[in-house]
Amino acid sequence: MSLLAPVLAPYDPDLADGAVKYLGIGEQGHLLGTDDQGRDILSRLIWGGRTSLIVALLASVLATLVGSALALVAGFAGDRLAGLIMRSMDIMFAFPVIIVALAAAVILGPGPSVVVLSIVFAVIPYVTRVVFAEVKLQRGREYVEAAVSLGAGFPAILFREVLPNVAGQIVVYGTGLVGGMIVFTSSLSALGIGIQPPTADWGRMISEGAKVIISGNVYVALLPGLVVLVVALAFNWLGDGLRDVFDPYKRHKRKAG
């Protein structure tokens, strides 16, 4: 729907009209009503998906790739290199994400790039720890010992033997990040360093709608919140399906059957 936003959106998502603000669902041709500035909520949801999904997907993919690569190396490297990598992750844990985002905004200026960099910085340590634990578990398995005894080199063991067996964990964790990253962008947008108005963004819509809940217009924040919930669940289910596809044991079982 977001890809077809120019065709599907019934109104300009940034067009404000004070005369029609806080219209209820279905009133005066606005299927999902209007917000506090008279902007059509349905149009903003459709257009907002472009910003929210691109930022969340890009940040999640980058963080997952970098974190997984570090974890794979640390899992099979010597104690010194593994300790250096994991202690670096501990240092990254210590940095408040908001401070990192503010510093990036000063250097780069507010916008989507700041959100992506901040999310990547914040998420890499979590991905690295999760994948590192799985890699260490796989390292002691018989198939790894067999590969070593047959003379397989470090790259072959890492990418041909271990990676296929941890890919499911990586995919599930990576896809599960997307919904949370969409919500995380709203906090940065509320501080003025994320997606800038009047650009439609699901996180900003939730943030703006939360300010008017007390007036009784709950739907302004509820509708984008439901969209984020559905998208987050969709990515979780996608991760579960991909895990089954990448799991070598289940794949072998299907072929045998």
HEC per residue, the chain:
CCCCHHHHCCCCCCCCCHHHCCCCCCHHHCCCCECCCCCEHHHHHHHHHHHHHHHHHHHHHHHHHHHHHHHHHHHHCCHHHHHHHHHHHHHHHHCCHHHHHHHHHHHHCCCHHHHHHHHHHHHHHHHHHHHHHHHHHHHCCHHHHHHHHCCCCHHHHHHHHHHHHHHHHHHHHHHHHHHHHHHHHHHHHHCCCCCCCCCCCHHHHHHHHHCCHHHCCCHHHHHHHHHHHHHHHHHHHHHHHHHHHHCHHHHHHHHHC
Q: Please report, for the chain, the start and end positions of each structural domain, with discontinuous segments joined by +.
A: 45-194+202-256
Per-residue pLDDT tens for 111-167?
888 888 888 888 899 899 988 988 888 877 777 778 777 776 667 777 777 887 788
Rounded CA-CA distance 203/232 in Å is 13
Highest mean pLDDT among 60-69, 209-218, 234-243: 60-69
Residue range 205-233: average pLDDT?
Answer: 85
Angle, to 10 degrees, between the axis of helix 79-94 and the axis of helix 41-76?
Answer: 150
pLDDT level of residue 107 (50, 70, 90 thresholds): confident
pLDDT of 9: 93
Fold classified for 45-194+202-256: MetI-like fold (1.10.3720)
pLDDT of 84: 92
Contacts of 116 (CB under 8 A, 6+ apart): 55, 58, 59, 62
Per-residue pLDDT tens for 16-57?
888 888 888 888 889 999 998 899 999 999 999 888 888 888
- 57, 9 in Cβ contact below 8 A? no
pTM: 0.79
Q: Which amino acid is at 124?
A: I
- What's the mean pLDDT when you consider all of the chain? 83
Rounded CA-CA distance 208/47 in Å is 16
pLDDT of 254: 55
What percentage of the chain carries pLDDT values higher than 70? 93
